[in-house]
Amino acid sequence: MLKNPVSQTILHYVDAQFPLLYLNTFEETKVDSLIKSVAYGREILEWNASKGFVHFETKSPLLDSIKTVEEILYALSQDDELNGKILVLKDIHHFLDNPHVISTLKEIALKIYNGLETVLFLVSPVLKIPTELEKYITIIEIGYLEEQDVKQLVRRFLRDNQLPDIANELLDELTIAFKGLTEYEIVNILSLAYSKDGDLTKKDLELIYDQKFQVIKKSGILEMIPQNETIHEIGGLENLKSWLSNKAKVFKNMNKALEYGVDIPKGVLIAGLPGCGKSLNAKATAQLFGVPLLRLDMGRLLGKYVGESESNMRKAIKLAEAISPCVLWIDELEKAFAGIGNGANAEVATRLFGYFLTWMQEKNSPTFVVATANDISNLPTELLRKGRFDEIFYVDLPTAVDRKRIFEIHFTKRRRGDMAAIDFAELSRKTEGFSGADIEGVVKEGIERAFVSGKQQVTTQDMVSIIEDTASLSVLFKDKIKVLSDAYKKNHFKSASKS
């Protein structure tokens, strides 16, 4: 009995004579062991884009290695060449627009239907299915390594390189850090860590995270954001901050909470005016929860080809789940979903939206979603219903108390020594209708102006003169603010601030 659920699935398809199995994955090494586990002694033939026809075990080129995939496929499709064997074609997406390759694959598939005993594995990180082959191909997505696989891999690396074993505590931390990376990437990083100082210690976690930032960035859809903001750097928004602090208690004690009967936190939607701290909250949430922050760029997710956007969304969600526990920050939610029901991208947006809703509904991984949006008026109502997000907050312009606090926060960061002489209550009074970003801008400019004028200290008057020159958010967005505030109230969203 096979333990691995993916190999079980593959085995079912192989037994049922499904002709073309498309393994959609980055994990080439994992694929080899999976295929071997379902081969039951049958000969495995491999063709890959870099070396051509190779020995499956050793990857050394075979006599026919110079032949193209087209020639190899043609030769193997003759008579019963493939009978009793398995054929693996790697990085095949490069060749799936070649009419000869397509027709030969179709021919082999038909022969399999007629009793030829073989199975073809098409292996590629890119999903590309020619219409002519749609009926014959079965897609199998191979996910990321599980925690126990990562641990095994690290142990095997140590053994193979005759390196001393490491403490369990360090192994646990390394495992968390490696989650979401492929076997190949993990082995490379381990080699790099050892080549630096011949040892593997806690110090190497930094190196792993540096590499991981890069790998995730290369994926093109997700980005790992450094965590520099804490919840103490957010002025006001007390309701939201205390709600997040409660969720952090659950998140950090997930096992105990689940045992107690608490549900896994799903996520929060923070809607509101620009520059009022939505992004700041997303960043502070990850810090508060003590987990990595991944940002999903909705703009980049939307692809040019049919099915590409959904495939990108699936990939992003899979990667986030592999890295979990984490916070997944979906910025500008309205960009992807506002087009539902009309416009050129309506169909794609509707499918993406359906996928996202189902995932949110059924999600049971510790991937906490923080979705942020400026304008919710075009968002589909299904998204705003309870049960999708744990809560929906709206962020309004800061109150007088909050404005004072925001001034203090930005002064503390830059000119702590001058604070005793500043009249923060006066600054707050003079900035009604200013957003948090406006206030930060006033502090920055005031300090710069004082410096340029050669002053030893920044004064209240320096700030006031900048305030008088500033067009605040409420002036710039005069008409929109009322419409948005009314929409939030109509939808009964919770206010992020204490009123």
Query: Where does this chain bind ligand ATP (CB under 6 A)?
Result: 234-237, 274-280, 372, 374, 406, 409, 436-437, 440
d(CA 258, CA 439): 42
Strand order of the β-sheet with 222-225 is 222-225, 293-297, 326-331, 367-373, 267-272, 391-395, 494-495
Q: How far is the CB of 279 from ligand ATP (least distance, A)?
A: 3
Q: How far is the CB of 30 from ligand ATP (least distance, A)?
A: 39
Residue 264: CB atoms within 10 Å: 16
Residue 57: CB atoms within 10 Å: 10
Q: How far is the CB of 375 from ligand ATP (least distance, A)?
A: 10
State phi, psi for 394 to the nearest 5 degrees.
-115, 140
Q: Which is nearer to ligand ATP, 25 or 374 (CB)?
A: 374
Q: Which is nearer to ligand ATP, 236 or 265 (CB)?
A: 236
Q: How far is the CB of 464 from ligand ATP (least distance, A)?
A: 20
Q: How far is the CB of 297 from ligand ATP (least distance, A)?
A: 13
* Cα-Cα end-to-end distance for the chain: 61
Q: Which is nearer to ligand ATP, 194 or 424 (CB)?
A: 424
Q: How far is the CB of 468 from ligand ATP (least distance, A)?
A: 20
d(CA 29, CA 34): 9
d(CA 381, CA 377): 9
Q: Which is nearer to ligand ATP, 265 or 436 (CB)?
A: 436
Q: Which is nearer to ligand ATP, 274 or 366 (CB)?
A: 274
Q: Which is nearer to ligand ATP, 323 or 439 (CB)?
A: 439
Lookup: tokens for 137: 């191909």
**Which residues, in sequence order, are bridge partners of residue 295?**
223, 329
Residue 188, helix vs strand vs coil: helix
Burial class (CB in 10 A: 0-12, 13-18, 19+), 135: exposed
Q: Which is nearer to ligand ATP, 24 or 372 (CB)?
A: 372
State phi, psi for 44 to the nearest 5 degrees.
-110, 125
Q: Which is nearer to ligand ATP, 138 or 470 (CB)?
A: 470
Q: How far is the CB of 235 from ligand ATP (least distance, A)?
A: 4
**Which residues, in sequence order, are bridge partners of residue 166?**
none
**Residue in 41, 35, 32 with CA at minimum distance from that of residue 9:** 35
**Residue in 436, 433, 432 with CA at minimum distance from that of residue 408:** 436
Q: Which is nearer to ligand ATP, 388 or 410 (CB)?
A: 410
Q: Which is nearer to ligand ATP, 52 or 275 (CB)?
A: 275
Q: How far is the CB of 439 from ligand ATP (least distance, A)?
A: 7
Q: How far is the CB of 293 from ligand ATP (least distance, A)?
A: 13
Q: Which is nearer to ligand ATP, 234 or 294 (CB)?
A: 234
Residue that has been written with the tokens 């320096």 in this structure: 462
Q: How far is the CB of 286 from ligand ATP (least distance, A)?
A: 14
Residue whose Cβ sits closest to ligand ATP = 436
DSSP string, 408-463: HHHHHHH-GGGGGG--HHHHHHTTTT--HHHHHHHHHHHHHHHHHTT-SS--HHHH
Q: Which is nearer to ligand ATP, 351 or 414 (CB)?
A: 414
**Length of the chain (residues):** 499
Residue 193: CB atoms within 10 Å: 20
Q: What is the CA radius of gyration of the chain?
A: 28
Q: How far is the CB of 444 from ligand ATP (least distance, A)?
A: 9
**Residue in 458, 350, 351, 364 with CA at minimum distance from that of residue 411:** 458
**Which residues, in sequence order, are bridge partners of residue 328?**
294, 369
Q: How far is the CB of 437 from ligand ATP (least distance, A)?
A: 4
Lookup: tokens for 359: 């995932």
Lookup: tokens for 4: 């691995």
